[in-house]
Amino acid sequence: MIFQQFNLVGRLDVLTNVLMGRLNHRATLPSLLGLFSAGERALALKTLERFDLLEVALLRAGQVSGGQQQRVAICRALLQEPRLLLADEPIASLDPHNARIVMDALRRINREDGLTVLCNLHHLDTARIYCDRIVAMQSGRIVFDGTPADLTAAKVQDIYGVSEDEFHAPMPEGTLALA
């Protein structure tokens, strides 16, 4: 799971935050003592390198930028070896540049690792650019399920009650985009 607020321990270094993704694979006592194997450390470093974070591995998580923190959170999630990656508004608190970097990272995970990424997004333009499938929900019901190309201006008007030109504001709560 990737959260919109990162959920890192700011006073711990980046590497340790990533290693926390291994806790579900370990016994309680070594986990409590923060003892990780050389193999786990190597995997964490390789994952940090993949997302251009190796140079900040020993910095406290609270010292790195928001975009870097979100990529650290992605690395932590990958160390859990998930079958499905859930991302709850992963770019909500990021500037456009870092939002692009994070969405590019999620798309790479989907394309290179073959991992399904279920991403809750509130920006239709971002969903159209990055997602293969878009699911729109209202009041707990699916009101659209299709490709970005299938989401025509008329369908946007039907679903959200606004024209395509007006639709540059965040999407209503409960809208899902799948990659």
Q: For position 171, what pLDDT does the model report?
A: 47
pLDDT, one tens digit per residue, over 41-54 is 999 999 999 999 99
Beta-strand relationship, 176-178 and 116-120: antiparallel
Q: For position 175, what pLDDT does the model report?
A: 47
How is the chain split into domains, by residue range?
Answer: 1-84
Q: Span 157-179, mean pLDDT?
A: 61
pLDDT, one tens digit per residue, over 106-121 is 999 999 999 999 999 9
pLDDT, one tens digit per residue, over 71-101 is 999 999 999 999 999 999 999 988 999 999 9
* CA distance linking residue 165 with residue 81, whole number of Å: 41
Q: For position 20, what pLDDT does the model report?
A: 93
- Dihedral of CA atoms 109, 113, 116, 120 in degrees, nearest 10, equals -10
Q: For position 164, what pLDDT does the model report?
A: 64
Q: For position 167, what pLDDT does the model report?
A: 55
SS3 164: coil
* CA distance linking residue 114 with residue 85, whole number of Å: 11
Class of domain 1-84: alpha beta
